[in-house]
Amino acid sequence: MQITLNSITHRFGEMTALDDITIEGRDGEILAIIGPSGCGKSTLLGIAGGLLAPTSGEVLLSGSPPADTLNEITFVFQDFALLPWQTVRKNVSFVLEHHGLSRDALRARVDDALARTGLSDFADALPRQLSGGMRQRAGIARALAVRPAIFLMDEPLSALDAQTRELLQEDILDLWQRDRPTILYVTHNLQEALQLASRVCVLSRRPGRVKEIVEIGIPQSERRAPEAQVELARLGEKLWGLIREEAIVADREIADA
């Protein structure tokens, strides 16, 4: 499915957070959204997923979801949002409980989601017994259980150490390459965007506006090859050049506040 954010403007009182943003997440692509702190990336994702109503503009969906989709759109957050008193299996099955599935169908979906995220052996563990990376895998498994057509990922790896981020990037790519959902992926990490995204949307500092959308012409499966590194480095410099000065200003604004 394709998701289009059409002329999105959003205000919090007198403050304009987003100003006339139009972008589209094309069917089956990963679109990364980057920009300086406070530019409205998470607000834009909240609007995309229906958590916030924009001041003006609209969110449009086109195309047909897979036949077994229960939610067309689902979120993966950076803070895992797991129920600490429930096992991994219960956390994943929680999102299915109001869909009228039979016991066998529900169990099959949960088993599949756990297997695809490497959590089958941890189904009966509580979140506090897991590493940060494993907790985020549980969050991804919960999202997979409803088999969405569109994932909205809000800095899902930012709370993890560097090695775990690398491993989870590989996991996200593996999951994407299997089913090719559409993913809007908010991140502050340029290297993460370069490894995962088909295109990168660069937002300006507040009010957030689209500065540029950068195409990454190298297939994700080829980006770790040495010959791809030169082009990725060039694209990284371009992305940093687009946000550097505004990132400095945004950082000073946060410090002053």
> Which tens digits make up the pLDDT trace of 14-52?
999 999 999 999 999 999 999 998 899 999 999 999 999
3-state secondary structure 135-163: HHHHHHHHHHHCCCCEEEEECCCCCCCHH
Domain count of the chain? 2
Residue numbers of the chain with a pLDDT score lower than 70: 251-257
**Does residue 132 fall inside a structural domain?**
yes
| 182, 231: one domain | yes
Residue 188 contacts residue 153 (beta carbons within 8 Å): no
Residues 115 and 159 in one domain: no
| Domain of 129, in residue numbers | 82-148
Tokens of 215: 């195409």
Residue 21 pairs in a beta bridge with 8
Residue closest to 117 by CA, chosen among 144, 147, 85 = 144
- Determine the pLDDT at residue 256: 41
Which pLDDT belongs to residue 8?
Answer: 97
pLDDT given at position 17 = 95
Residues 153, 205 share a domain: yes
Gap between the Cα atoms of 213 and 80, Å rounded: 29
Specify the pTM: 0.92
Asked if 28 and 13 sit in the same domain, the reply is yes
Which residues is 3 bridged to in the sheet?
25, 61
So what's the pLDDT on residue 219? 93
Between the CA of residue 3 and those of 130, 149, 181, 235, what are the distances in Å?
34, 10, 11, 25
Q: Is residue 77 part of a domain?
A: no
Residue 253: predicted pLDDT: 65
